[in-house]
C-alpha cells in the first residue's frame, strides 16, 4: 500500500521554542492514522504544516509522492481543534462560502450540501444563524464543511469534542464510511478508546519528537508482556496462589465473573508458552477464565510518554 502523506525529517521552531524536532511519518493511503501525544507535544504544528498554514524550517512533506504545493489544500479537509463559524451568518450561506473557498463551484457546493444536510437530518437549518444553534449542531455543520469537497486526506483534530454520544457515533460512522470510500484519515485525539476502535496506524509525539509509530497491531504485539488473566476455581485459594508465585510473576486481577474464584494476572517467564501455563493450571484447578492481557493504547501511551520523559 502506498503512502498518501509522507513527512520527512521535519523541524519547526518558534523563536527559541522547538515545536517539532526531526519528525518523520508515513500515512498509508486508505488508512485511519492516529496522531497521539500529550498537550503541547507538537501535533497541531504538524497538522498545520500539512495544511500549509505554516511551513517547516527544515524537512519536506510529500502528498501523493509530490512535494506539498498550494493546490493540495483542495484535496485536504481539515477540522481544527479550535473551530467555529461566523456567528451572524446563515448556516447555508456560510457553508457555501467555505465550500467555495475550497474550490467547489457554487452550484456543486449547493447540491452536495443538500445531500449532506439531508443525510445528517439537518436540512431545515439552512436559513438559521449559527448563534441560534447549539454547540453540537454547529459541530455537525463544521463536519459537513470539512468533508464536502470529497478530500483525499481528512484531518480531524479532536472531532468528537462537543458531541453527545449519539451524535459522536453518527460522526464516527461517517468517518468510517468515508474511509471505506477511499479517503485517508488523520485523527488527532486524546480519547484513547476511539483510537483503539478506529485507527489502523498510530504515531506518538512527545515533546516535539516522534517516539513511536507503526501499525496499531504491531505496536500492541511489541508491547505484549505475555501476561494472562486467569480465573481459577479451587478449594484453597491461598495455597494455590503461593504455589503459583514460586513459578510465575503473579499479581491480583479484577474482572467480572459469575463464580467465586481466584483472580490473578500471571506473567510468563521466557521459555514458557501459554500452553504450559494452561496445562499447569488445569492440573491444579478448574480454569474458568483464561485471557491474554492486550496492552491498551492508553497503557502504551502513558508508558511510552513516561519512558521518553525519564530518558529525556
Partner 1 sequence: MDKLPLIIKREYLAKVRNRSFIVMTVLSPLLVVGMAALVFFLTKANNEERKVIAVLDEGNFFREQFKDDASIAFVPFRDISLETAKDSAQHAAYYGLLYIPEGRDIENAAENIEFFCKESPGLGTLSSMEGVIRSRVRDVKLRNFGVPDEVLGEMGRNYEINVENFTGEKKLRGINEMKAVIGGAFGYLIMMFIIIYGAFVMRSVIEEKTSRIIEVIISSVKPFQLMLGKIIGTSLAGITQFVIWIISAGLLLFVLAAFLGISMGELGGSRIPPDAADAMNNMSGGMQEKMQLYIAELLNISWGVLLFSFVVYFILGYLIYSSIYAAIGAAVDNETDTQQFMFPVILPLMLAIYVGFFSVFNNPHGPIAVAFSLFPLTSPIVMLMRLPGGIGTGGVPVWQFVTSIVLLVVTFLAIVWLAAKIYRVGILMYGKKPGYKELYKWLKYS
Binding site for partner 1 (CB under 8 A): 14-15, 48, 51-53, 55, 57, 70, 73, 76, 78-80, 82-89, 97-98, 100-102, 142, 145
In the complex, the smallest distance separating the C-beta of residue 74 from partner 1, rounded to whole angstroms, is: 8
Exposed, middle or buried, 155 (CB in 10 Å: 0-12/13-18/19+)? buried
Contacts of 148 (CB under 8 A, 6+ apart): 77, 95, 98, 99, 102, 104, 109, 112, 113, 116
User: For residues 49 and 232, which CB has a smaller minimum distance to partner 1 in the complex?
Assistant: 49
Residue 14 or residue 255: which is nearer to partner 1 going by CB? 14
**Distance between CA atoms of residues 222 and 241, nearest Å:** 29
CB nearer partner 1, residue 48 or residue 210: 48
Residue 16 sits at φ, ψ, to 5 deg, of -85, -15
The rounded distance, in Å, linking the Cα atoms of 178 and 168 is: 15
Q: Shortest Cβ distance from residue 266 to partner 1 (Å)?
A: 49
Backbone phi and psi for residue 248, each to the nearest 5 degrees, phi listed first: -130, 170
CB 109, CB 96: distance < 8 Å: yes
Smallest gap, in angstroms, from Cβ of residue 37 to partner 1?
A: 18
Which lies closer to partner 1 via its Cβ, residue 81 or residue 233?
81
Q: Which is nearer to partner 1, 55 or 255 (CB)?
A: 55
**Minimum distance from CB of 84 to partner 1 (Å)?**
3
> Closest separation between CB of residue 212 and partner 1, Å?
27
Amino acid at each position: 500500500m502506498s503512502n498518501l502523506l509522507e513527512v520527512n525529517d521535519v523541524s519547526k521552531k518558534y523563536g527559541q521554542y522547538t515545536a517539532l524536532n526531526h519528525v518523520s511519518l508515513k500515512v498509508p493511503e486508505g488508512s485511519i492514522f492516529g496522531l497521539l501525544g500529550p498537550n503541547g507535544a507538537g501535533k497541531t504544528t504538524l497538522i498545520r504544516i500539512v495544511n500549509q498554514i505554516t511551513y517547516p524550517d527544515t524537512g519536506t512533506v510529500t502528498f501523493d509522492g509530490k512535494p506539498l504545493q498550494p493546490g493540495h489544500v483542495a484535496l485536504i479537509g481539515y477540522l481544527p481543534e479550535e473551530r467555529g463559524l461566523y456567528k451572524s451568518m446563515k448556516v447555508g450561506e456560510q457553508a457555501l462560502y467555505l465550500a467555495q473557498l475550497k474550490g467547489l463551484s457554487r452550484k456543486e457546493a449547493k447540491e452536495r450540501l443538500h445531500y449532506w444536510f439531508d443525510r445528517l437530518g439537518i436540512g431545515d437549518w439552512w436559513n438559521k444563524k449559527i448563534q441560534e444553534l447549539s454547540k453540537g449542531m454547529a459541530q455537525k455543520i463544521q463536519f459537513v464543511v470539512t468533508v464536502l469537497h470529497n478530500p483525499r486526506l481528512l484531518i480531524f483534530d479532536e472531532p468528537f469534542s462537543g458531541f453527545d454520544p449519539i451524535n459522536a457515533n453518527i460522526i464516527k460512522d461517517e468517518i468510517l464510511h468515508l474511509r471505506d470510500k477511499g479517503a485517508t484519515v488523520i485523527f488527532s485525539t486524546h480519547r484513547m478508546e476511539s483510537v483503539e476502535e478506529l485507527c489502523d496506524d498510530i504515531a506518538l509525539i512527545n515533546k516535539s519528537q516522534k517516539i513511536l509509530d507503526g501499525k496499531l497491531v504491531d505496536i500492541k504485539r511489541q508491547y505484549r508482556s505475555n501476561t494472562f488473566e486467569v480465573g481459577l476455581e479451587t478449594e484453597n485459594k491461598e495455597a494455590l496462589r503461593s504455589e503459583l508465585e514460586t513459578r510465575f510473576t503473579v499479581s491480583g486481577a479484577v474482572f467480572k465473573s459469575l463464580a467465586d474464584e481466584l483472580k490473578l494476572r500471571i506473567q510468563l517467564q521466557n521459555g514458557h508458552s501459554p500452553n504450559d501455563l494452561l496445562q499447569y493450571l488445569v492440573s491444579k484447578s478448574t480454569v474458568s477464565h483464561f485471557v491474554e492481557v492486550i496492552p491498551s493504547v492508553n497503557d502504551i501511551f502513558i508508558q511510552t510518554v513516561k519512558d521518553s520523559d525519564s530518558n529525556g
